[in-house]
Amino acid sequence: MRILLIEDNLPIANAVRAMLEARKFAVDVATDGVAGLDYLMRETYDAAVVDVVLPGKTGFEIVREARAEAIHTPVLMLTARDAVEDRVRGLDAGADDYLIKPFVEEELIARVNALLRRGDKPVSSVATAGKLTVDTGSREARYDGLSLDLGTTEFRLLEFLARNANIAFSRSQLLARVWDYDFDGSSNIVDVYVSQLRRKLRVAGGRDVIETVWGVGYKLTA
């Protein structure tokens, strides 16, 4: 799952990012409204967490302009304002939910998960491909009933491939969907993580689960 966070307060942005990444979400961060809207318009996200008061464009403007361009990414707005009219204004602009600062981690995660369930394309918490199951609810992956000990990025990569079984993706496509938007590295990192996943799958009895598609990249075979 890929989340866009638009928040100009760096301590808050870092804290929210850590909360989400601890639950194995991939998180892109924009620290001003103009960049945030650009991210939202150009990339595909499962949900966005957007502050109201931002330099460049407000959260209200971001949501309103995104909706005008038929961007239907579910949006949770963050604000220190607790006035009813501000919440109404945000919802009228096209936001899906509202969370007032300060908030606790459990409420943020619960609201993000609710947005994901509410999206235009509901996604089950369990992705199944052949003998492989990836459960985003429990953050557990199993092959033929055997638990796979995966790191955060390994889990995200395997989940994405499992949800898109039998579809070949290039390395650049996998970087865009699984790694952070501002990832500073080469596509060789994809090969490294695929190799690690293959090794762990083989230990559980899964051979040729992730195939190399020559000239393209990789696909997970159900």
Where would I find the beta strands (DSSP E) of the chain?
Answer: 2-6, 26-30, 47-51, 75-79, 97-100, 126-129, 132-135, 140-143, 146-148, 169-170, 210-213, 217-220
Q: Looking at 118, 148, 179, which one is the last position of a domain?
A: 118
Q: Looking at 69, 86, 118, which one is the last position of a domain?
A: 118
Q: Report the pLDDT value the prediction gives residue 82, as an integer from 0 to 100.
A: 63
- Mark whether 134 and 82 lie in a shared domain: no
Q: Looking at 99, 118, 137, which one is the last position of a domain?
A: 118
70: which 2 tokens? Answer: 């038929």
H helix runs in 5-58, sequence order: 10-22, 33-42
Q: What is the pLDDT of residues 121-150, one digit of tens each?
A: 445 578 889 999 998 778 899 999 999 999
Q: Is the pLDDT of residue 67 over 70?
A: yes
CA–CA dist 21, 3 (Å, integer): 10
- Three-state SS for 49? strand
Q: Give the pTM.
A: 0.57
- Mark whether 185 and 99 lie in a shared domain: no
Provide the domain count of the chain: 2
Q: Report the CATH number that the domain containing residue 73 is assigned in CATH.
A: 3.40.50.2300
Q: Is the pLDDT of residue 163 over 90?
A: no
- Mark whether 59 and 146 lie in a shared domain: no
- Mark whether 14 and 53 lie in a shared domain: yes
The average confidence (pLDDT) of the chain is 86
Q: What is the pLDDT of residues 73-121, one digit of tens each?
A: 899 998 876 666 767 777 788 888 888 888 889 889 988 988 887 654 4
> 99 lies in which domain range?
2-118
Higher model confidence: residue 172 or residue 84?
172
Q: Report the pLDDT value the prediction gives residue 24, as an integer from 0 to 100.
A: 85
Helices 59-68 and 84-93 pack at an angle, to 10 degrees, of 20
Q: What is the pLDDT of residues 196-212, one digit of tens each?
A: 999 999 999 998 999 99
Rg (CA), the chain: 18
- Cα 7 from chain centroid? 16
- Mark whether 25 and 112 lie in a shared domain: yes
Q: Report the pLDDT value the prediction gives residue 181, as an integer from 0 to 100.
A: 43
Return the residue matching tokens 């994405």.
160
Q: Is the pLDDT of residue 48 over 90?
A: yes
Arithmetic mean of pLDDT, 9-33:
92
